[in-house]
């Protein structure tokens, strides 16, 4: 059974603010899965990235600097999530289409994944995504 938007969740991470800086903590107990891969994305203001879904891989997105708006789609409904604080993370399970818009200069997105990179896991065209969702719901 494919996930719906109800399974996409904002998770608040432990956050310590001190006079000389701040610290966000990510421990296994705070995350929805074991980490197999981490990557960092930087983009210009107003750039839109992502625009794909995964068949098997789940992701956890954080924005340690700047602001990134994440649009999620389950082929029936859409929801927008704002990553605008370093201690907010967004859990996106496999089977959800997602795109990210970089809202501020120097915004950075850190992505944690439960699987290593596998090109065959990606659904890169929205029409293919809709067909995949239809096939999986039969």
Give residue-wise pLDDT tens across range 41-92.
999 999 999 999 999 999 999 999 999 999 999 999 999 999 999 999 999 9
pLDDT the model gives residue 137: 82
pLDDT the model gives residue 85: 97
Q: Which of 47, 81, 79, 85 is nearest to 63 (CA)?
A: 85
Question: 40 burial class (0-12, 13-18, 19+ CB within 10 angstroms)?
Answer: exposed
Residue 40 phi, psi (nearest 5): -120, 135
pLDDT at 1 over 80: no
Neighbour count for residue 56 (Cβ, 10 Å):
11
pLDDT the model gives residue 2: 86
pLDDT at 131 over 90: yes
Percentage of the chain beyond pLDDT 90 is 94
Answer for the pair 31, 20: CB distance below 8 angstroms, yes or no: no
């Amino acid at each position: 059974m494919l996930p719906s938007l109800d399974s996409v969740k904002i998770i608040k991470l432990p956050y310590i603010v001190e006079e000389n800086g701040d610290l966000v903590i990510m421990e296994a107990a705070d995350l929805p899965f074991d980490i197999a891969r981490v990557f960092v994305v930087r983009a210009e203001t107003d750039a839109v990235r992502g625009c794909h879904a995964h068949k098997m891989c789940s992701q956890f997105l954080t924005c340690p600097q700047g602001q990134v708006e994440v649009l999620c789609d389950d082929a029936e409904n859409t929801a927008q999530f704002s990553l605008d604080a370093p201690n907010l993370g967004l859990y996106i399970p496999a089977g959800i289409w997602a795109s990210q818009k970089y809202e501020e200069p120097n915004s950075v997105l850190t992505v944690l994944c439960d699987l290593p990179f596998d090109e065959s896991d990606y659904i890169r065209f929205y029409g293919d995504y809709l067909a995949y969702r239809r096939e999986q719901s039969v």
